[in-house]
Amino acid sequence: MFAVETLDLSKRYGKTDALRGLNFTVNEGEIMVILGPNGSGKTTLLMILCTILKPTSGTAKVVGIDVVEEGTKVREVMGIAFQEARGFWRHKPSSILRFHASMFDIDPAKRQDLIERTMKDLELWESRDKMFMHLSGGQAKRLETAKVLIQQPKLAIFDEPTSQVDLRGKRKIWDKIRELRDQGSTIIVATNEVREAEYLADRVTILHQGQRVVCDTIPKLKDAIAGGDIVEVDFEDPVSGKLVDDLNGLGGDVSLSSEGNQLRAKVSRAEDWVPKMTSASYIAGAKIASIRITEPSLDDVFLHFTGKALVDQP
């Protein structure tokens, strides 16, 4: 059974299709990152999964429970950290978390310890007596994350969990999300931040204009780009044209620098190509001084699959 499964899921706002026949699955115990630019349908999908929005057509199930037919049961097993941390203006973070814990039946005997530990982990403890409206944007986002962490739901959803959070805070939130996965929760993270996706994802689903473009692990997504890996090889001496021809025969696109001692190859899988290249070089008597391999980024992956940049360039 999938932790999340949608079948032909659509959502229409007036004349705008936010989701168009989306088929999407998440395995139990994985972190699925949904990557897509603003307006791609990420938040709409999450809102449907947590039963706030209703689909226009199609079905969605969370741990086998239909989100439309049995909304309350779905809400019992999932928790969501919203993209916009708003509301509860005149409440203190500790009181907000106590209320949240009581709504999800967290053991009263352990509640206070859990809240204190989570707040300290997310560096919110010092702000525990501030009103919500006096928290910074980053603190409010961390509080939103803290709600889900104390809840430890079967399905945890984080919608852009680190927007407005500083670098140090981002790393803390990411580590806590991974920790939550290690404790057995299934996790969905929606983001348009490549670093976040690369740090967290077990698998990535690329969403574009309300449709799933592709879903796989990051290495496989990168490997799927033809000529995706770039290998730069420095030789101690200029190499022969025959070696270049031999290397071109291994697949990929090999070019030689004007000095003749530096090769640059665009290959599909560097881990397959490099051993073959070193053997061919050895046979040709060419001594290798250094090898550098660079991968395409998720930006490149997104560009490859959608033809558009993930984040609009200024």
Partner 1 sequence: MNRVLTLAAYNVRILLSERTWFVLAWALFGLQIAVYGSLMSKLVSTTVPNYLFFYGVGLMVITVFDSGADVGRHFVEHAHEGELPYFLSLPVSRGGFLAAQAIYGVANTMIKVLPPLIGVLWFVGDLTVQGAVFALISMFLLGLGITGIMVSMSFIAFKSVDIYSAFLAGLSALIVRFSTVFYPLIFMPSFYSPISVFSPLTYGADLTRWVLGFDSNFLINPIFAAAVVTGVAVGTLSLSARIVDKVIEGVKAA
Q: Report residue 53: phi and psi, to 5°.
A: -105, 155
For partner 1, the closer of residues 11 and 304 by Cβ is 11
For partner 1, the closer of residues 48 and 221 by Cβ is 48
- For residue 260 the two structure tokens come to 């003749």
When asked if residue 282 is in the footprint of partner 1 (CB under 8 A), the reply is: no
- Separation between Cα atoms, residue 243 and residue 87, nearest integer Å: 66
- Separation between Cα atoms, residue 10 and residue 153, nearest integer Å: 26
For partner 1, the closer of residues 56 and 59 by Cβ is 56
Q: Which of residues 73-92 bind partner 1 (CB under 8 A)?
A: 75-76, 79-80, 82-84, 86-90
Number of residues that bind partner 1 (CB under 8 A): 33
For tokens 């009103």, the residue is 131
When asked if residue 313 is in the footprint of partner 1 (CB under 8 A), the reply is: no
Query: Which span sits near partner 1 by CB under 8 A: 21-29, 70-78, 199-207, 301-309?
Result: 70-78
Smallest distance from partner 1 to CB 157, Å: 9
When asked if residue 109 is in the footprint of partner 1 (CB under 8 A), the reply is: no
Q: Report residue 91: phi and psi, to 5°.
A: -110, 155
Q: How many residues does the chain have?
A: 314
Q: What angle, 0 to 180 degrees and rounded to 10, lies between the N-to-C axes of helices 108-121 and 93-103? A: 140
Smallest distance from partner 1 to CB 174, Å: 23
Smallest distance from partner 1 to CB 208, Å: 13
Q: In this structure, are residues 235 and 256 in contact, taking their beta carbons and an 8 Å threshold? A: no
When asked if residue 137 is in the footprint of partner 1 (CB under 8 A), the reply is: no
For partner 1, the closer of residues 96 and 277 by Cβ is 96
Candidates 23, 57, 102, 257; binder of partner 1 (CB under 8 A) is 102
- Separation between Cα atoms, residue 208 and residue 36, nearest integer Å: 6
When asked if residue 1 is in the footprint of partner 1 (CB under 8 A), the reply is: no
For partner 1, the closer of residues 99 and 282 by Cβ is 99
**Nearest CA among 146, 125, 133 for reference residue 91:** 133
DSSP 127: G
For partner 1, the closer of residues 53 and 197 by Cβ is 53
**Nearest CA among 16, 7, 11 for reference residue 60:** 7
- Separation between Cα atoms, residue 181 and residue 272, nearest integer Å: 32
When asked if residue 53 is in the footprint of partner 1 (CB under 8 A), the reply is: yes
The letter for the amino acid at 292 is R
When asked if residue 174 is in the footprint of partner 1 (CB under 8 A), the reply is: no
Residues lying near partner 1 in the complex (CB under 8 A): 13, 16, 18, 38-41, 43-44, 47, 50-54, 71-72, 75-76, 79-80, 82-84, 86-90, 99, 102-104
